[in-house]
């Protein structure tokens, strides 16, 4: 049972425009969420996180939005750069949990 | 500060064999988690070790086992390898849950 879903396997965006990556979850007990970026032949690299007490967290060009009622989070990248081209995973965890549940990833391509 | 290192980077094994994968945790981290990432999927939690004890397990059979050593490094052992065990195996170390959760680059296991 996939508790975290990323329904868009791929996304292409022009350089300088906004990239929006979406993630849905089913478990209402999830209270901590992460976005990871993964380049080929490398492990996932932490990008940004958000806890359920917030609805927005910003770090430079990256902003994560959390809509708890809709069980939805999104990652906004503004402006998008070619170096952002990678696979992005969202992951979720519970306050008592010891594991992260990952989505299947969205492959972002930023076109120069 | 060293990151999470995994060895080997690539491995080819024959069905029925046994394999041991190794992970050195990041300095200051005492918890190690192992994930399996099949092609086109997100990482799936195998188990976590904290203070040399298993601290949670995902939906993996007993032929997947692990160890954590006093220096917090860890091993993942898989017995009776099956073709479906072919995947990228990721190790992540952390101190507090979800904080500074850092992945290694992974070991690519191919079972033939």
| pLDDT 10s digits, A52-110 | 999 999 999 999 999 999 999 999 999 999 999 999 999 999 877 778 999 999 999 99
Task: Find which of B10, B36, B43, B56 to mutate to test the A interface (most A CBs within 10 Å of its CB).
Answer: B43
- The model's pLDDT over B42-94, given as tens digits with 9 standing for 90+, comes to 999 999 999 899 989 999 999 999 999 999 999 999 999 999 999 999 999 98
- The model's pLDDT over A14-45, given as tens digits with 9 standing for 90+, comes to 999 999 999 999 999 999 999 999 998 788 89
- Beta strands per DSSP E along A17-83: 19-25, 30-38, 45-51, 56-59, 62-67, 72-77
CA-based R_g, chain B, Å = 13
Q: Residue B97's pLDDT is what?
A: 52
**How many angstroms away from the CA of B28 is the closest CA of chain A?**
18
The first and second tokens of residue B21, run together, are 């994968």
**How many angstroms away from the CA of A39 is the closest CA of chain B?**
10
Q: Residue B96's pLDDT is what?
A: 56
């Amino acid at each position: 049972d996939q508790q975290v879903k990323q329904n868009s396997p791929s996304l292409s965006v022009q350089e300088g425009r906004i990239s929006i990556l979406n993630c849905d979850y089913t478990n209402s007990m999830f209270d901590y969420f992460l976005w990871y970026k993964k380049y080929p032949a490398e492990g996932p690299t932490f990008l940004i996180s958000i806890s359920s007490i917030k609805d927005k967290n910003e770090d430079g060009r990256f902003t994560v939005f959390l809509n708890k009622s809709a069980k939805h989070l999104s990652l906004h990248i503004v402006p998008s750069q070619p170096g952002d081209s990678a696979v992005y995973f969202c992951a979720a965890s519970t306050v008592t949990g010891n594991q992260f549940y990952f989505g299947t990833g969205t492959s972002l391509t930023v076109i120069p | 500060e060293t990151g999470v290192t995994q060895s080997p980077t690539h491995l080819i094994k024959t069905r029925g064999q046994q394999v041991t994968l190794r992970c050195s945790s990041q300095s200051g981290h005492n918890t190690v988690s192992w994930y399996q990432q099949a092609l086109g999927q997100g990482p799936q939690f195998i188990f976590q070790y904290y203070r040399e004890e298993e601290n949670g397990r995902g939906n993996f059979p007993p032929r997947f086992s692990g160890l954590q050593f006093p220096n917090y490094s860890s091993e993942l052992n898989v017995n009776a390898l099956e073709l479906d065990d072919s995947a990228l195996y990721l190790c992540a170390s952390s101190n507090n849950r979800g904080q500074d959760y850092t992945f290694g680059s992974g070991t690519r296991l191919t079972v033939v």
